[in-house]
Structure 1
Amino acid sequence: MSDKPPLLIGVARLIDSLNAHFGKACAWLTLFLVIGTAVVVVLRYGFGIGATALQEAVLYAHALVFMGASAWVLQRNGHVRVDIFYQSFNPRRRALVDSLGTLVFLLPVCLFLGWSSWDYVTNSWATLEGSSESGGLKFVYLQKSIILVLVISLVLQGISDLIKFANILSGRMPDVEVKHG
């Protein structure tokens, strides 16, 4: 008997690892948000100097913090769950509820978001869209691409979760508690 996990569990672990690393990297951008915002405020109100590029960089980082780390938050079960019944469910019932939520809500919403934003992002790339502000960043197309990063990372995390839920439902895997820290 091999000690290797089944292929799909390995795929789920790889997706989880990628989303965790990317989410943690995005989370570190909050430090830049605080420092960057403070510098913009001090420059503007203390010295009367506008820092358009820095202000836009803070906006880009803000988008990455929320959209780039969303799959990691989903993975860690950190999203808001308002359900007084769910917490009393056994692991198999929770896996069934989570599977249905992923199939009925998460994946269709992600696919719709990807489909509806595709032209928005590709048009921006086609022109290498830059800031309309004087002194602004020339990478608006990269900022708009963060929408697709959100979609791809959430779809991948949904697939990873479905693999784990299927293994819980089949009894091949116990319910894994989220480890915070």
Structure 2
Amino acid sequence: MTALDASADTTPSGSDMTPLVTRLFGWIMLAVMVAFVANAYLTYWLDLPGANNALTGNGGAMAFLQVGIYVAMAIFGALYVMSTRSRTLREDSARISNINVVFIRAAFWAVLLVGLADAFISFLRVEGLLESVFGSDLASAFGRSNFRGTFVHMPLIGISIIIAFFTRTLGFYWLALLVVMAELIIVIGRFIFSYEQAFMADLVRFWYAALFLFASAYTLLEEGHVRVDVFYAGLASRTKGWLNATGTLIFGIPLCWVILMIGAGSKQSIIISPLLSFEVTQAGFGMYVKYMMAGFLAVFAISMLIQFVSYLLDAVADIRGEPGGRDHESHATA
């Protein structure tokens, strides 16, 4: 084998434009997702006409302005990629994953703080102590889901976002422990003290749903999802890259968009409708967090979409034979 042949064998596969095109696709995808979320807020909470009405001509200038949000965000994503052309696929993949870590970390702190606060208010309410602690007017207000959601939950979510920027742990292990502890308290209260209330079961469901849905993107990052390892484990890194990239493009990213577009496609959709009405459970004096559990689907879809984009960039880097890839067999990042 000649020196030229040896050099050719170590050259990463794929054209020189592949990293740039892949990065453009990934960042524009994320930018359009941000535009979609922003338009959902503008349309359903602020009652703007919506970008869809620009096609029918019924929305006026505001509908075209909302379409412009998509265009502006797509251009922003493209300009960002062009201004960082020297960045590798691995570097971008890690950067996107780090963004997702902050997003999921904020979601964890939100369900932790909101769960504890709402369970405490529900406990005081069911025991008749709410009025003596907060006064009659505020106690009555706490009985309305829109008040509790606006003035208790939303500020705690804002605090959670701030905390997410100053902590360095995802917290899922702690959330799993909290689920077990909450269930243990139910068992002890039921069988030892003959005490059980609806809010106690609501807290377990609230935290368990968050654990299941929010941890999915982290599990994808750590290669922890179930796959047919009897075939996959023995494949070459480049072949694994092709499988991961193909699966991401055909199944992963489209699934996330289906959830977002169906779940947040109208005011009557399964995500938007509960959020708008601050929907609550009908089981007695339970917690007022059912509407947030509908929002968990949106968090799941957004976090998985972000992570799938990161996964795609890493898979293309595997196809090209770039160094520093994941150790797929140990389910960890290299």
Q: Shorter-chain TM-score: which interval?
A: 0.7 to 0.9
> What is residue 219 of structure 2 aligned with on the other side?
73
Structure 1 counterpart of 2:284, one-letter code: S
Aligned-pair distance for 1:174?
Answer: 4.3
- Where 1:28 maps in the other structure, the secondary structure is helix
> What is residue 35 of structure 2 aligned with on the other side?
none
Aligned-pair distance for 1:168?
Answer: 2.1
Q: Does 1:41 align with 2:122?
A: no
Aligned-partner Cα distance in 2 for 1:27–1:110:
25
For the 8 Å contact 2:317–2:325, the answer to whether it is kept is no
Q: Does 1:135 align with 2:285?
A: yes
Aligned-partner Cα distance in 2 for 1:133–1:44:
17
Aligned-partner Cα distance in 1 for 2:289–2:224:
31
Aligned-pair distance for 1:74?
Answer: 0.8
Cα deviations across residues 120-150 of structure 1 (Å, max 9, x unaligned)?
1110111111221222111211111111111
Number of paired residues? 177
For the 8 Å contact 2:198–2:285, the answer to whether it is kept is yes
Aligned-partner Cα distance in 2 for 1:176–1:95:
10
Aligned-pair distance for 1:83?
Answer: 4.0
Question: Of residues 80, 95, 107 in structure 2, which corresponds to 1:14?
Answer: 95
Aligned-pair distance for 1:164?
Answer: 1.1
Of the structure 1 ranges 155-164 and 80-89, higher mean CA displacement relative to structure 2 is found in: 80-89
> What is residue 155 of structure 1 aligned with on the other side?
305
For the 8 Å contact 1:27–1:69, the answer to whether it is kept is no
Aligned-pair distance for 1:13?
Answer: 1.3
Q: How does 1:28-177 map to 2 (within 5 A)?
A: 28-118=174-264, 119-177=269-327
Kindly report structure 1 stretches of 4+ aligned residues shifted beyond 6 Å: none
Greater length-normalized contact order (CA 8 Å, ≥ 6 residues apart): 1
Aligned-pair distance for 1:85?
Answer: 2.5
Q: Which runs of 5+ in 1 are unaligned?
A: none
Aligned-pair distance for 1:86?
Answer: 1.8
Cα deviations across residues 158-177 of structure 1 (Å, max 9, x unaligned)?
00011111222223334321
Question: Of residues 8, 12, 26 in structure 1, which corresponds to 2:172?
Answer: 26
Structure 1 counterpart of 2:98, one-letter code: S
For the 8 Å contact 1:43–1:51, the answer to whether it is kept is no
Bigger Rg over Cα: 2
Aligned-pair distance for 1:51?
Answer: 2.5
TM-score by length of 1: 0.87
TM-score by length of 2: 0.49
Aligned-partner Cα distance in 2 for 1:92–1:121:
39
